[in-house]
Amino acid sequence: MCQKENVETQSCTGNPCPCVEGVNCTCNLTNWSQWSQCSLTCGGGQRQRTRQFETNSTANCTPQNLLDTLPCNIGCCPVDGGFTPWSDWSACTKACGSGTRERYRSCTNPRPSGKGKHCQGSAVDREPCNVQKCGK
């Protein structure tokens, strides 16, 4: 027997009774599905799980509590460091007789953050300059 608000009854066949227009069927829900994988690997993703109305129980059922969400991987994404362009060359350390000059760069383009990698390579570049012999 299908019940309408535990007061009126209507005969039906089948098990369970099919929902009939105007009859308030019980809105039974399935169990929650497994959680989905996180939508992002970092920076604030979301996992979801769903459930549905069981067969023959969708008439007059309000679609509520069918989707559940949960934040995941909320930590900042790692950012690998990058070098700035080289600076201009410095003045040579000697006017003659094999001096050196230098140029610089820094690992701030961008700065590494989170578990990002630090820049690989040297931040200082040196080369010989004014290698000619000094004359009198």
Picking from 40, 117, 41, the residue whose alpha carbon sits closest to that of residue 79 is 117
Task: Pick the more confident residue, 117 or 58.
Answer: 117
Residue 20's alpha-carbon distances to 14, 26, 59, 64, in angstroms, are: 12, 12, 7, 21
Burial of 52 by CB count in 10 Å (0-12 exposed, 13-18 middle, 19+ buried)?
middle
| Gap between the Cα atoms of 91 and 102, Å rounded | 8
Task: Pick the more confident residue, 41 or 23.
Answer: 41
pLDDT 10s digits, 4-13: 333 344 444 4
For 112, how many CA atoms within 13 A lie in the half-sphere containing its CB? 11
Q: What does the DSSP 8-state code read for residue 6?
A: T
Q: What does the DSSP 8-state code read for residue 53?
A: B
Picking from 23, 16, 6, the residue whose alpha carbon sits closest to that of residue 54 is 16
pLDDT 10s digits, 87-110: 999 999 999 988 999 999 999 999
List the domains of the chain with CATH numbers.
Answer: 78-136 (2.20.100.10)
Picking from 100, 66, 69, 107, the residue whose alpha carbon sits closest to that of residue 86 is 107
pLDDT 10s digits, 25-83: 567 778 899 999 999 999 899 999 998 877 655 556 666 678 899 999 998 899 999 99
pTM, two decimal places? 0.52
